[in-house]
Structure 1
Amino acid sequence: MKHYFEHYEPLWEELTGSRLEEWKDVLSPLLEEAFTPENNGNLPRWQPALEAIFKLPKSDTYTLNASAIAVHSDSTSESAREQLKTHLKGLMPWRKGPFDIEGVFIDTEWHSDWKWDRVQPHLSSLEGKKVLDIGCGSGYHIWRMMGEGACFAVGVDPSLLFMSQFLVMKHFIGDSVPAYFLPLTLEQLPVINKAEEFDTVFSMGVLYHRRSPIDHLLDLRKHMKPGGELVLETLVVPETYGQLLVPADRYAQMNNVWFLPSVPELIRWMEKCGYKNVRCVDLDQTSIEEQRATEWMDWKSLEDFLDPNDPSRTIEGYPAPLRAVVLANK
């Protein structure tokens, strides 16, 4: 999988001379392990689509601060566009977006732009900031962060399919935008004593998947500069439900949901972990318009996971997905 390592050369150059220079020695063997067929047998299946896309020229223009992350070239023909669409479909399902790649609109399962519209107005300025996005998915929000003026962004997600989707956009946009994807977990990231490199750390849609949410909050804090900002977006339960929901089995058909706190309980967790100025800035009920099946993710989606007779509840009888955005400082 040597081809994948080539995409990290600009990252190693970016880290040289920074307080995160030690990352290279630690991350290289972790990436090598992540790319082995033993760890993900699907990687060879996606490789032909990726290699065909990597042969295409970089785009003339790109847009990072609009609803759809877009790349465009005046020279792209209709036949080339149809071939590109075929290759992009080889990387399905596309869950987080949307994207517009040389005129091919990828209508992803999630309207990730709606989430960004709820988060962005409450952020401290990202201009010139270094940001870390944990559980970054296909990297949609990384590109939006760069569109807000971030000078350096690292996304972390163990999914090699998400990595492949990110690398598609990285190919067309080029290395002039210093955004990178690590197919790892937060726990695998090296913690370098007193490096504290990142101004803003994002964890969106991750906390409820962690068996130990407290450890997750503490691990996030280790990568933040003093005074840095944490942006936490997660599922919660209404205060009327109680303090905490621990699903007996599945939640909205997800089998890896562990803890859904109320907002006051979540704030207590964060304060217990040493965060300051903890505040909930948005509370939003997920709609079947925001998360739905599309041409690019044609499996079951949120509508199938809600009680058909009472959409305020999941098919398991729990409160339907309610998402909170909570900001805090180190």
Structure 2
Amino acid sequence: MKTFDWKRYFNPVLSELDAQGLQDWAESLRTQFTHKFEEAPHGDLGRWLRAVDTLPRLPDVRGQLNAPAVTLETAQALTETEQQDLEAGLRGLMPWRKGPFRFFDTFIDTEWRSDWKWDRVAPHLSDLKGRQILDVGCGSGYHCWRMYGAGARRVIGIDPGLLFLFQFLAVKNYVGEVPVDLLPVRMEDLPTNLEIFDTTFSMGVLYHRRSPLDHLLELKSTLRRGGELVLETLVVDGPEGYSLMPEDRYGQMRNVWFLPSCDTLLRWLQRTGFRDAKVVDVTETTTGEQRSTDWMRFNSLQDFLDPEDPSKTVEGYPGPKRATVIATKP
């Protein structure tokens, strides 16, 4: 099986962590990557590597990273062979869930219109210029690119899904050595009390955690004093103190644990030591924002809602509604 030269991709960010005095974290990552890519590689690793290697090498690629579709451009049109190779490589990395992306003349219509979420969140953020940012559960890195496009100095995304990593590298191989990286690790793999990030995003993660308060404490530990947390999660209507714990699945998802009311979520943030927490957006998720496409051909939101009453999930719970909260670490 073709091997992944992980050192080529990760040595720059690991060296940067060393330079910031985070040698223990960098060494831990080296150990994890050795195990993940050399000792116990994923069964699909070879297929994903071949897909990335199929993408044509092109000169003078420019990235438009602050547009609804993260876009790659080149002055010279692709040849027919290059276009065929591009299409084959990108389709070898399906399903594409978070985006959209435009690779030259190829538009990847992802399952999620992640640009809609960004448009809801961005007006409420502190100026990202010059900030060091962590994006927890970043998926393929779509929002990481948007954060860098908005002026961030350095962006690190974390997500254990290896397919997401290779979708991210499909972009990064074209834009080059920019300070945006995706580390294929879990939140619990991070050292405690990092306290190096100016802004930490956790969007679409909290409801997947068995202990939401522990997740909030982990997020707080990544932030420097005065740092900003941007949290987006599923919520339900109800008074302070109320949260929904599904009996089994929620919208066909097994790993959904707690859906709080907005007031409960604010209380959780207060109890875990954040201050100035405020709900800046509450939006119902629609089948316009999440749906099956030619680039994600599996079931999607329309299949997870009650066909007789689409305001409810197929299990009879309230349909998906997402709140964004911004809070500060004292």
TM-score range, shorter chain: over 0.9
Q: Distance in 2 between matches of 1:159 and 1:140?
A: 14
Q: After TM superposition, give the deviation of residue 267 of structure 1 in Å.
A: 0.8
Q: Distance in 1 between matches of 2:315 and 2:256?
A: 13
| Percent of aligned pairs with the same amino acid | 50
Match of 1:137 in 2: 139
Residues 250 and 256 of structure 1 are in contact (CA less than 8 Å); yes or no, is this contact kept in structure 2? yes
CA displacement 1:2-41 (0-9 Å, x = unmatched): 5122101221232242143432212101112222474522
Show structure 1 runs of 4+ deviating over 6 A.
none
Match of 1:302 in 2: 301
CA displacement 1:236-269 (0-9 Å, x = unmatched): 1112798111111110000110111111011111
Match of 2:163 in 1: 161
Match of 2:238 in 1: 239
Match of 1:102 in 2: 104
Tell me which of 32, 42, 45 is aligned to 1:43. 45
CA displacement 1:73-128 (0-9 Å, x = unmatched): 12322331122011100000000000001211100000000000000000001000
Q: Does 1:70 align with 2:71?
A: yes
Residues 4 and 49 of structure 2 are in contact (CA less than 8 Å); yes or no, is this contact kept in structure 1? no
Residues 138 and 166 of structure 1 are in contact (CA less than 8 Å); yes or no, is this contact kept in structure 2? yes
Q: Distance in 1 between matches of 2:17 and 2:39?
A: 28
Match of 2:247 in 1: 248
Q: Distance in 2 between matches of 1:269 and 1:319?
A: 21
Q: Distance in 2 between matches of 1:15 and 1:304?
A: 43
Amino acid in structure 1 at the alignment position of 2:270:
E
Amino acid in structure 2 at the alignment position of 1:297:
M
Match of 1:272 in 2: 271
Residues 134 and 197 of structure 2 are in contact (CA less than 8 Å); yes or no, is this contact kept in structure 1? yes
What SS class does the counterpart of residue 96 from structure 2 fall into?
A: coil
Q: 1:152 to 1:94 in 2, by over 3 A?
A: same
Q: Distance in 2 between matches of 1:15 and 1:256?
A: 32
Match of 2:93 in 1: 91
Q: Distance in 1 between matches of 2:144 and 2:218?
A: 20
Q: 1:12 to 1:41 in 2, by over 3 A?
A: same
Match of 2:209 in 1: 210
What SS class does the counterpart of residue 312 from structure 1 fall into?
A: coil
Q: What is the CA RMSD across the aligned residues, in angstroms?
A: 1.6
Q: Distance in 1 between matches of 2:190 and 2:124?
A: 27
Q: Distance in 1 between matches of 2:191 and 2:59?
A: 33
Q: After TM superposition, give the deviation of residue 51 of structure 1 in Å.
A: 1.9
What SS class does the counterpart of residue 310 from structure 1 fall into?
A: coil
Unaligned 5+ residue runs, structure 2? Answer: none
Tell me which of 116, 119, 122 is aligned to 1:120. 122
Tell me which of 5, 17, 22 is aligned to 2:7. 5
Q: Distance in 1 between matches of 2:23 and 2:74?
A: 36
Q: Distance in 2 between matches of 1:309 and 1:2?
A: 48
What SS class does the counterpart of residue 145 from structure 2 fall into?
A: helix
Residues 240 and 267 of structure 2 are in contact (CA less than 8 Å); yes or no, is this contact kept in structure 1? no
After superposition, residues 284-295 of structure 1 pair within 5 angstroms as: 284-295=283-294
Q: After TM superposition, give the deviation of residue 62 of structure 1 in Å.
A: 0.9
Q: Distance in 1 between matches of 2:39 and 2:71?
A: 32
Residues 4 and 37 of structure 2 are in contact (CA less than 8 Å); yes or no, is this contact kept in structure 1? no
Q: Distance in 2 between matches of 1:184 and 1:68?
A: 26
Q: After TM superposition, give the deviation of residue 189 of structure 1 in Å.
A: 1.1
Q: Does 1:321 align with 2:292?
A: no
Match of 1:33 in 2: 35
Tell me which of 149, 156, 162 is aligned to 2:151. 149
